[in-house]
Structure 1
Amino acid sequence: MAIEISNPSELHDPTGFGYSHVARVSGELVFVAGQYDSDAQGHTTSDDFATQVDNAFANLGIALRSVGLDFAEVAQLRTFIVDHNLEKLAVIGKKVAEIWGERPPTQTLTGVAALALPGMQFEVDAVAVRG
């Protein structure tokens, strides 16, 4: 396998928060730029945070499939949340668990004041590995 996910026993178990501590990779790295809730013209489609998260991850899936990869090959996520709070964290954790189950990739979450376009509340980018 090109990605080996691990959580050292000396650190807390982060899987309930939707991430793992370490991803060891071999093979070709693929970087996917920030994906968000966007229509064909690049405009956001919803003011609802959970909808934006769903659509951003759907767009991430499209980007991955365009190069012959899927969510299973993702080693790292970086998520950006406008006005981060625990309710929004729960939404993201639920979505990550839906996609990756008990084997979430590493993830760094950053709370931000704003994102690139008006109305954007969430963005996710990824590093994947082609084995």
Structure 2
Amino acid sequence: MSRTIKHLLIGGLVIMTMGVPAATTANENDLELTIVNPKNLYDPSPNGYSTAVIAPRGGRVAYISGQGGQDSTGALSPDFAVQVEQAYANLRTVLDALGARPDQVAKLTTFVVDHDMSKLEVLTRNVKEMFGEALPAQTLIPVPKLAIDPMLFEVEAVVILE
């Protein structure tokens, strides 16, 4: 190998490693989500969500696929409230499998078939039971149907792992 090529290769390795940050150890406080509810906007927390959530610099992100109201056998109740409760239980199972807690969930997206205002109480109650004061940012999307016909609710999540 020529001397010029060796210098280019070595120079390239130096340049490539200059942009790589040194490994650091984060403490638990460095990995907490920061909830932002600006005072000059409507306070969404009574409805079970936060306006924005800032993820910590040192966290890894996990994306949880939509969890429906199927039980462990795949059966779906025809009752909306039962499906919502089961979907949040399923979400909790996925969080446990990831070694994550509910307060590490930064964002939820919920999909509701034939949404109307009567369903908000069910949704809000389940979110508050699972997340307490650490309410994630959330978007609710009304839809005409989901992946399978008896499915009435689905929730997906973005989680910051430690």
Aligned-pair distance for 1:39?
A: 3.0
The Cα of 1:32 is off from its aligned counterpart by 0.3
Query: What's the C-alpha RMSD, in Å, of the aligned pairs?
Result: 1.2
Could you say what secondary structure the match of 1:90 adopts? helix
Segments of 5+ residues of structure 2 without an aligned counterpart are 1-28
Question: 1 or 2, which has the higher helix percentage?
Answer: 2
Match of 2:129 among 69, 78, 98: 98
Compute the displacement of 1:42 (Å). 3.1
Matched, 1:109 2:147: no
Deviation at 1:70, TM superposition (A): 1.9
SS of 1:54 mapped into structure 2 = helix
Q: Which amino acid aligns with 1:115?
A: L
The match for 1:18 is 48
> Which residue among 119, 142, 149 is the counterpart of 1:118?
149
Q: How far did residue 121 of structure 1 move?
A: 0.4
Matches of 1:16 and 1:47, distance apart in 2: 28
Paired amino acid for 1:20: S
CA distance in structure 1 between the aligned counterparts of 2:128 and 2:41, rounded to whole angstroms: 20
Structure 1 residue aligned with 2:106: 75
Q: For 2:75 and 2:93, how far apart are their aligned partners in 1?
A: 17
Q: State which structure, 1 or 2, has the greater radius of gyration over its C-alpha atoms.
A: 2
Q: Does residue 37 of structure 1 match 2:72?
A: no
What amino acid maps onto 1:29 in structure 2?
A: V
Report the residue type matching 1:17 in the other structure: N
1:41 CA displacement: 4.5
- Structure 1 residue 101, shift from structure 2 partner: 1.9
Higher strand proportion, which one? 1
Letter in 1 for 2:38: P
5+ long unaligned stretches in structure 1: none
Larger relative contact order (Cα-Cα within 8 Å, sequence gap ≥ 6): 1
Count of residue pairs the alignment pairs up: 130
Contact 1:15 1:103 in 2 (8 A): no
